[in-house]
Amino acid sequence: MSIKIIVVDEHKILREGLSSLINKQPNMKTIGEATDGREAIEAVKKLSPDLVLMDVTMPNLNGIEATRKIKSKNPDIEVIALSLHSDRRFVLGMIDAGASGYLLKECAFDELVRAINTVMDGKKYLSPEISDILIEEYTMKNSNDKSTIYSKLTPREREVLQQIAEGKSTKEIAKNFSISIKTVETHRQHIKKKLKATSIAKLTKIAIREGLTSL
């Protein structure tokens, strides 16, 4: 039986290229694509894949939050991050969210095939560069991560922060989440207070630094 895969990336040419290569494998099949985290969540609901190839930095909803939501409701669905970024915050964010693998987009397709098969066998797969980051992190047992937005903000506050950083208005954010403008303003005030940021520019800088958006 073929491994059913959804490819998530904001760039169409990359999605189509990966899908084409995957479909040439005897035990794999691409059953859907998505351009951002929100589309990925809906695609998972509709198509029930075995595995999701997830980009990390995407508009509207990033790969970390999308992975967290997918794994919370579908723990048996595997997620492999396929990203341009080897920064520790992206790596740790995806692993903490439930991803079973993390590869850099510069990897050869053969490595991606190996990663998919490894993860579907119930194991973890990390690019060598990524392994070094995790080894360093857990060896040092640095407590700095306790001060990141993933411990300070709620999931909804992180979603709102990403939308703010991407230039969405309060009205647009309210519409996207089907909540009131007043609720968005409350979230905004809580975010500013928790992050000690008094301006949109500072919030945007934090969102980029923490991997919520790549703008």
- pLDDT at position 43 is 98
| H helix or E strand, kind and range, residue 53 | strand 51-54
* Residue 121: HSE in the Cβ half-sphere, 13 Å Cα cutoff: 9
φ, ψ at 32 (rounded to 5°)? -175, 165
Residue 115 vs residue 127, higher pLDDT: 115
For the stretch 26-72, pLDDT in tens is: 999 999 999 999 999 999 999 999 999 999 999 889 999 999 999 99
Q: Supply the pLDDT for residue 18.
A: 95
Of 75-89, 123-137, 164-178, 199-213, least confident by mean pLDDT is 123-137
What per-residue confidence (pLDDT) applies to 22?
A: 97
What pLDDT is recorded for position 47? 97
Domain 145-209 has CATH 1.10.10.10: yes
Reported as a single tens digit per residue, the pLDDT across 130-181 is 877 666 665 555 445 445 677 789 989 999 999 999 899 999 999 999 999 9
User: Token digits for 31?
Assistant: 């059953």
Q: Are 135 and 35 in contact (CB under 8 A)?
A: no
Strand partners, 32: 6
* Superfamily designation of domain 3-140: Response regulator (3.40.50.2300)
**Domain chopping of the chain, boundaries:** 3-140, 145-209
Q: Mean per-residue pLDDT for 94-105? A: 93
Band (8; pLDDT cuts 50, 70, 90): very high
Measured between alpha carbons, how far is 54 from 7 in angstroms, rounded to an integer? 7
pLDDT given for residue 143 in this prediction? 47
Q: Which residue has the tokens 């909803």?
A: 61
Three-state secondary structure call for residue 78: strand
Please tell me the predicted confidence (pLDDT) of residue 135: 66
Could you give the CA distance from residue 63 to residue 46 in angstroms, rounded to a whole number?
Answer: 18
Q: Does the structure show a pLDDT above 80 at 109?
A: yes
Instruction: Check for a shared fold between 3-140 and 145-209.
Output: no
